[in-house]
Chain A
Amino acid sequence: MTVYDALLAETVTITGADGDQIEAYAARPLNAGPLGGVVVIHHMPGYDIQTKEIVRRFAAEGYNAICPNLYSREAPGAAPEDAAATARANGGVPDERLLGDVEGAARWLRALPNANGKVGTIGYCSGGRQAFLTAAKLDIQAAVDCYGAFVTGTPPEGFPLQVSPIGHLSKDLRCPLLGLFGNEDQYPSPEAVDELEGLLKEAGKDYEFHRYDNAGHAFFAVNRPSYRPEAANDGWARILAFYGRTLAS
């Protein structure tokens, strides 16, 4: 049997927080669906080629996927690493703006003719914390937190970003949460992950955590020394099973 597997991947403009027109990278299967949608929240180093690869992977797996460029406003058209440096100098992305941008991306996904109306988020690094935030604040059906720091735990002294712990929002989660963590990570540390798990348990939320030995932060990052194929391969399988349960028609 031949499976029709054509994809369309392209840069698009979407309406983000405050009605701002922002850049995003989208990839979608060219079939009639109905398909679930995934909003990819990029890591702090930015809207880079590796993140775009992740977007295309989700499309190849049968989801409409989109990654908003969270640094569209401060650094339009800049190279990802330059944009990330500018965002860092400005103190990072404010939570309210992030929520508006992800909400805009979810709206864009739901408006596609082959959409089934279900949308999940996934975020890496700083995006992991942001994915957790979207689970508490937005109308989404699934969220994946990949080693997001400062969901729980205390930021180091002198912390310059507009980021505060959000573990107390556990009770407000509106959708199932998948968490993937490396046991050698310091931010989030295994203790911070324990704390988050405790809060989710206490609130009776639908969550699933997997923790990997011999893996630290950013074990999904194929272009970095932190890449751990074993953890990354198992992590991808967990993500696809989770979205299969929560987003697929």
Chain B
Amino acid sequence: MCTYLTEQIEIEGSGRGREGYFPLTRAMVYVDHPQHAPFEHTVNIDFLNPEQGPGARIPVELTEEAALALIEAIRNTLATAPPGLASANAKGHGASAAA
């Protein structure tokens, strides 16, 4: 089925596209038909920079299990690192800290 359901969030970071790294400003998450993964439906995550055009997009298509395992892995990794180390507001890092 085409769920059409789409979550969009603002993000900060970088990703590597066809022409090298670029800043990421938005992520879009949706459950729908994949373009490539051999399943009828997947959890699709697009990392985007809409200001740089439609091609500034890093898509991934994951099974439900893979997506949930990824969430878990992100949480576990952050839990073992010092709190706030990768925060946009961390001392000595990022534009927000410098402001």
**Measuring CB to CB, which residues of chain A are less than 8 angstroms from any residue of chain B?**
44-45, 74-75, 78-79, 81-83, 85-86, 88-89, 92, 125-126, 149, 155-156, 158-161, 163, 185-187, 216-218, 224-226
Contact = CB atoms under 8 A, between A and B. Distances in A.
A81 B46 CA distance: 11
B1 A187 contact: yes
Contact of A89 (B3, B5, B35, B48): B48
Interface of B: 1-6, 8, 26, 28, 30, 32-33, 35, 38-40, 46, 48, 50, 53-55, 57, 59
Given A45-B33, A85-B28, 15 more contacts: A82-B57, A83-B54, A88-B30, A89-B26, A89-B28, A89-B50, A126-B2, A126-B4, A155-B4, A156-B3, A159-B5, A163-B4, A185-B1, A224-B33, A226-B40
B54 A186 contact: no
A187 B6 contact: no
Contacts of A81: 35, 59
A217 B35 CA distance: 15
A86 B59 CA distance: 12
B99 to A, nearest CB: 28
B10 to A, nearest CB: 12
A226 B4 contact: no
Contact of B6 (A88, A125, A226): A88
Contacts of A78: 53-55
Contacts of A160: 4-6
Nearest to A148: B2
Contacts of B30: 88
